[in-house]
Amino acid sequence: MTSLIVLSCVLAFVNAVIAGNHEIYSGYSVHGVRLRDQADQIVLHKLEEDLNVDLWNHGAPGLRDALVMVSPENKREFLAILDQNGLNHYLHLDDVASSLKEYDTQVSSWKLSRTNRMPFLDYPRYAEVDAYMERIAREYPDLVTYSVYSVKLRDRSDQLVLLNLQVELNVDLWDHGAPDLRNALVMVSPENKLKFLDTLEENSINHQLHLTDVALFLKAYDTHVTSWKQSRTNRMPFEDYPRYAEVDAYMERLAQEYPSLVTLVNAGASFEGRAIKYLKISTTNFSNTSKPIYFLDATLHAREWVTVPVALYSIHRLVENLRDQDRDLLENVDWIVLPIANPDGYEYSHTDDRLWRRTRSYNAEVSTECWGVDANRNFDVNFNTIGVSSDPCSNVYPGHVAFSEPETRYVRDILLENIDRLQLYLNIHSHGNYLLFGFGNTTLPANVAQLHHVAAAMGAAIDVKKLPIAPYYLIGNSNLVLYGSSGSAQDYGQEVGVPFSYTLELPGYGYSFVVPPQYIDQINTETWEGIALSARLASLYYRARNRF
């Protein structure tokens, strides 16, 4: 009897916590509206003013449908105006009140099934958030409070404001965003916060606080990852965020177990002396000139951990788990996979600074205070001309000369040694769901139509498998879609003769560079679909070019 009373009290408390007056939404409905162009967006915004409809999702023409909640009394007029303007629409939710009640029931059940929840694993009330922040402030008084802001971009000029701030204030662009499609995310130091916000205000750029304290965010992430690792045993390296030694051991094992298929190559030592190794995967030991070569690498930027599992999973699917539908990928293509291009930075991001981006080289003639360069600005193509900073401490410092880093020289050497057959180079990064090609200096390659064709097909293949919370991949020239850049691996590959040279930005799901490990399997499997399709298309182009 006592236990029943306790359970009743708990249920009453949970319901009190989550319940709202949902009856006020009785009869309200939500409609999906397919947008064709900006004129359709203007129609919805006018309805927002005239009928007080609630735009749950503003949508994007040709990319995402808008979602609009409408009151019962305005429903008929709302639908009539859509029809008058030729807007395609459909019923998304019949009754908002009923949907909210169902949600309450689901949340009640979930809360009862989980105990000792941390606030970031729940939907906490104000008092819980306040208590959590008070505790963290007491326990970690010395942490520097970097913050992250979400910035709404209207046009190219807003992008240029952020790029100038990147150089002037050394802000860290976590996500460059896309005008009217995706907000930018910018990490700012405490000492630069006021100047940063003043500049946004002066340029009338809408913004809001995204993360109050980066240190707290990373601490919570560490706790979550530790718990996740403890709950899973016998993980393969591509199912985790492996350390350098684990990746090295995995490649060594594959080379020993599959000697007729896999060759392990030591390109040379990193600045700190770590061996930078890659696998060559071929059924013909790279001797068949009728087969194109596909080269993919990861972690030029150290903090982008999720790129490593994708590279390793690609190896796994080609070597250990080759499926019947993928046999053509081995029969028709030779592969080079470099899972950790920047091992010093990658290890440093595990041991010292989770958000470390650069290499770890040291040159006292350049700076006695700052280490490393942006490896993806260090290639000898339009070097040190656009999208870089002369500050050696900046995340976009390109180095004092092109190819100053051994890590970028090894990537260069792989490209040049295989240039006769190298058909596609995929430089994998995180995050944002972008597939980009050159050049970063506003010029376009001669084969831009073919580049766009393969990229669009690759993005579409990934999008078929994507999670609903992820945006669709944006495809295009890196300068036009994001920003101007120089010295990138993508541009260098295109410049020296790789027909298809791309930057792939993997999903972040709102977590930026610290994607929770439970998303690794999803990212691996969906990205593999795109890699496989792009390899097949590249092979077709290669055979047509060489008339095989």
What does the DSSP 8-state code read for residue 27?
T
Selection from 144, 148, 149, 150 nearest residue 215 by Cα: 144
Active site residue 23: no
Rounded to the nearest 10 degrees, how much is the dihedral formed by the CA atoms of 279, 284, 287, 291? Answer: -90
Q: Beta-carbon neighbour count of residue 398 at 10 Å?
A: 26
- The end-to-end CA distance of the chain, in Å, is 81
| Number of CB atoms found within 10 A of residue 219's CB | 16
Q: Which residues, other chains included, contact 7 with Cβ-Cβ below 8 Å and sequence gap of 6+?
A: none
What one-letter code names the amino acid at 312?
Answer: L
* Tokens of residue 17, six digits: 């916590």
The helices-and-strands tally (H runs, E runs) of the chain is 17, 16
Report the relative pairing of strands 184-188 and 29-33 from DSSP bridges: unpaired
Question: What are 290's strand-pairing partners?
Answer: none
The residues facing 265 across adjacent strands are: 278
Q: What is the spatial distance between Cα 50 and Cα 46, in angstroms, rounded to a whole number?
A: 6
Give yes or no for a contact between 100 and 23, defined as CB atoms under 8 angstroms apart: no
Q: How far apart are alpha carbons 281 and 402 in whole angstroms? A: 30
Extract the tokens encoding 259.
């000697």
Burial state string for 175-186 with b = 16 or more CB within 10 A and e = fewer than 16: bbbbeeebbbbb
Q: Which of 201, 505, 526, 529 is catalytic?
A: 505
Could you tell me whether strands 334-338 and 275-281 are parallel, antiparallel, or unpaired per DSSP bridges? antiparallel
Q: Which residues make Cβ contacts (< 8 Å) with residue 129, sequence separation at least 6?
A: 119
The residues annotated with a catalytic role in the active site are 505
